[in-house]
Amino acid sequence: MAASHQNTRSPVREGVVGFMLGAVGGCALGVTETPADQAMAEIITGSLLKPITDGVKTVGPLGLGTLLGATAITSAMTTAIAGVSGAALAALLLIRLKSNGVAGLGGFEWLTAGLVAALSTTACGAALGFAIEHLTRKSGIVALLWALGIFTILKMLVHVSVQLTCREMESHSLLQLSTGAQEWEQSRLEAMEAEQRERVTVEIEQRIIALETKNGEEGPEHRAAWEAHRQEREEMERLRKEAGEQRTVQQRLTNLMPKYVEYLAFSGIPMTVTAVVTAGFGIFGYGEYRFVFVILLTLVLCMAFMLMRSMHLHFWMFTGCVGMFATFATAVLTVHAGQEAAGLALRMQQVGQMLSNETIVVQMDHRSSLEAIAAGFFVSKVCQVGLGATVGGPLNPKVLDKAIVGGCVATVAILSIVEASSVILGVGGVTGALLGAVGAAGLSLGAAAAVAVQCSSWAGTISTTAGMLFAALAIGKWNIVNTGLHVLVAYMFAMINPY
């Protein structure tokens, strides 16, 4: 829905269209609720819960919360970057093929890029989920700590290699530009002269037509020739405009890759440091002490202060801080769940039910594990919705409606594929693959949020937001707080342009 079209609509019509588009985006979010709850229920009731519960005894509830939170958010970030990178590479390849004269690509390059993004995100999430499940079952929850550290180092090595490659390509292109600078300047002058001659030709043609009309002469042959020349000029102008747009898109997609590789390399460092510190205290036997919470809070605040006070605030710094605070919230909820279990046991003892210390500890560990899993699911979904919104929000206003519908269709398609292959993927693979569906839903929500912001009247903005909330609650679950938080995150990240 283009902005120019919005300005010509009445507030009532704009509100109706906005509500329908918002409802489509809300449906994309709502359909992910039930599969995510089913995947979490399988983890809670299955054999995967035991190594997680045993991890509480090893790293403590605070360490377990930070470890699962950091793992979940890192997985969400990685799958989102896989989708964006796959879409960018596919779009670049198809645009270059189109510019080289390959027929049959008109209008399908962006559809293909969207399909590649959905498949890349889903495949990457399934692979990460399967690996996390395998590590947890085989080596326990501490294996995730080593995996996070190794994965962080690998991402930084990938960033360094990409930077070196980009510098080499840039230096090569600079040499080419220096050798061809004079030719470029000559071609620019020739283009300016051709444009000036074209303007003079148009003025002469207009004057001749005016004189013929004044003298009563029709001149059909001349008019047909002038009309043919005019159509030829318009066709050349159209081709020149399309070529300029393609060059602009190619430049943006080329600049996109290093930025997202930088985001992949550095955004997970704050969460990894937080998880390593708290899990390290737990491994050495200090996981139950309150001073660990104070150290964790101080560490989170110091890293957030240093990142946000940076002279050049990058997208990875902002998202890294958001992920770090989400990890901290997961840890706090995990500790709070254990304390609630201890309080419940104390009240049971006061009414005459005798519980041993071993039983109380088992209940506390079980409750902490359940809360860590639930909180990890929630923060990974919110993170994926936000990252999807950063892709859907900055899109061209002319294609926002297509992005909303396309994101919703992709969400349903991914959920169907994941459900059909659930036996092959396993619990971890299904859980990771669901991140692809949530990312597509985030793209749809981000595009809907952009439509709401670009509406010319408050009626359109409010109607679009109401459509998002109503559809998400009706299709999913009537959890106003969780749904409202997802929509709020979609609005916030849709206004961010990471490119």
Average pLDDT value over all residues in the chain: 80
Residue 322 has pLDDT above 60, yes or no: yes
The band of 47, judged by pLDDT with boundaries at 50, 70 and 90, is: confident
Local structure of 368: helix, strand or coil: helix
Per-residue pLDDT, averaged over 69-97, amounts to 85
- DSSP letter at 396 equals -
Per-residue pLDDT at 171: 54
Q: How far apart are CA 99 and CA 277, in angstroms?
A: 52
Q: How far apart are CA 148 and CA 162, in angstroms?
A: 21
Of 292 and 356, more confident = 292
Give yes or no for a contact between 21 and 29, defined as CB atoms under 8 angstroms apart.
no
The residue ranges of DSSP E strands in 215-288, in sequence order, are none
Local structure of 285: helix, strand or coil: coil
pLDDT > 90: percent of the chain:
7
pLDDT tens for residues 142-179?
888 888 888 888 888 887 887 777 666 555 544 444 44
Per-residue pLDDT at 97: 74
Per-residue pLDDT at 185: 47
CA-closest candidate to residue 91, choices 77, 105, 81: 105
Both structure tokens of 496: 């961010």
The tokens 């669901």 sit on which residue? 434
Both structure tokens of 35: 């599969």
CA-closest candidate to residue 467, choices 387, 408, 388, 423: 408
| Residue 248 dihedral angles phi and psi, to the nearest 5° | -65, -45
pLDDT tens for residues 417-448?
988 888 888 888 899 899 889 988 999 998 89
| Residue 314 dihedral angles phi and psi, to the nearest 5° | -95, 165
Find the range with the poorest average confidence among 136-145, 170-179, 221-230, 465-474. Answer: 170-179
The band of 346, judged by pLDDT with boundaries at 50, 70 and 90, is: confident
Per-residue pLDDT, averaged over 121-134, amounts to 90
Q: Tell the burial category of 244 from Cβ atoms under 10 Å away from its Cβ (0-12, 13-18, 19+).
A: exposed
Local structure of 457: helix, strand or coil: coil
pLDDT > 70: percent of the chain:
77
Give yes or no for a contact between 51 and 133, defined as CB atoms under 8 angstroms apart.
no
Per-residue pLDDT at 90: 82
- DSSP letter at 104 equals S
pLDDT tens for residues 180-203?
444 544 555 556 656 666 666 766
> What Å distances lie between residue 196 and 187, 192, 205, 457, CA to CA?
14, 6, 14, 43
Residue 397 has pLDDT above 50, yes or no: yes
Per-residue pLDDT at 6: 45
Give yes or no for a contact between 409 and 440, defined as CB atoms under 8 angstroms apart.
no
Per-residue pLDDT at 85: 84
Of 76 and 177, more confident = 76
DSSP character string of 132-183 = HHHHHHHH-THHHHHHHHHHHHHHHHHHHHHHHHHHHHHHHHHHHHHHTHHH
Of 390 and 358, more confident = 390
The model scores a pTM over 0.85:
no
Chain centroid to Cα 278, Å, comes to 28
Per-residue pLDDT at 222: 57
Q: How do the domains of the chain map onto residue ranges?
A: 3-181+255-494, 185-239
Alpha-helical segments (H) within 421-475: 422-454, 458-475
Pseudo-torsion of CA 329, 299, 296, 270, nearest 10°? 50
Give yes or no for a contact between 122 and 414, defined as CB atoms under 8 angstroms apart.
yes
Both structure tokens of 274: 């937080």
Q: How far apart are CA 494 and CA 442, in angstroms?
A: 9
Local structure of 454: helix, strand or coil: helix
Q: How far apart are CA 267 and CA 257, in angstroms?
A: 15
